[in-house]
Structure 1
Amino acid sequence: MSTLLTTFLNPADASATMLPCHDTDAADLFFSERPADLEQAKTLCAGCPLIEECRQGALDRAEPWGVWGGAIFEAGRIIAVKRGRGRPRKNREQEAA
């Protein structure tokens, strides 16, 4: 006999409908300091059925940081890319080496 509670808590059923941001293994990606992690979180958002609602909600709340609706937020606004920490090189030729 299956009850509503046991059906709802069945991990096999829940994983099929779980949103990418609710995956405990990937949760840290959405608020990482590393640009590569943020790009990976954006990729996870791409197939989410709630992407537009999530992004608009984050804009309405002026979320201070993180990936919301497939976009990177900083200081309540969407930014194209997150720069890594540290000072950029002064000499561009050193970057190629």
Structure 2
Amino acid sequence: MPPEMPCLIHPELYFSDLQAELAEARVMCASCPVMDLCLAGALERREPHGVWGGQIFLAGVVVERKPARGRPRKHVA
């Protein structure tokens, strides 16, 4: 893999629980020369989690945001 692949420089960002780090990883993907191949492979493999090809994966599907950990917030009426 070429060294210009950002996931090789900061791999921890691509599997973070923090939204800000996941967003940073997505931005870094945009300059990657293999972004499209990465995304295609992740879709084919149904990656369980992480940022792949500029997209966030959870349970094998692309999601807009990774849900926060812990109990969901109560809705106040």
TM-score by length of 2: 0.85
**What one-letter code is carried by the residue in structure 2 that aligns with 1:64?**
P
Equivalent residue for 1:21?
7
Query: SS where residue 39 of structure 1 aligns?
Result: helix
Q: Mind listing any 5+ residue stretches in structure 1 that lack a counterpart?
A: 1-13, 93-97
Indicate yes or no: 2:44 matched with 1:60. yes
**Larger RCO, structure (CA 8 Å, separation 6 or more):** 2
- Which digits, 9 at most, give the CA deviation of each residue in 1:15-72, with x for residues without a partner? xx5210111xx11000011111111100110111111110010000110000000000
Aligned residue pairs total 75
Matches within 5 A, 1:1-97: 17-23=3-9, 26-90=10-74
Structural RMSD (CA) = 1.7
**What one-letter code is carried by the residue in structure 2 that aligns with 1:73?**
F
Q: Mind listing any 5+ residue stretches in structure 2 that lack a counterpart?
A: none
- Bigger Cα displacement from structure 2, 45-54 vs 62-71: 45-54
Matched-pair identity in %: 47
Question: Which of the pair has more CA radius of gyration?
Answer: 1
TM-score by length of 1: 0.69
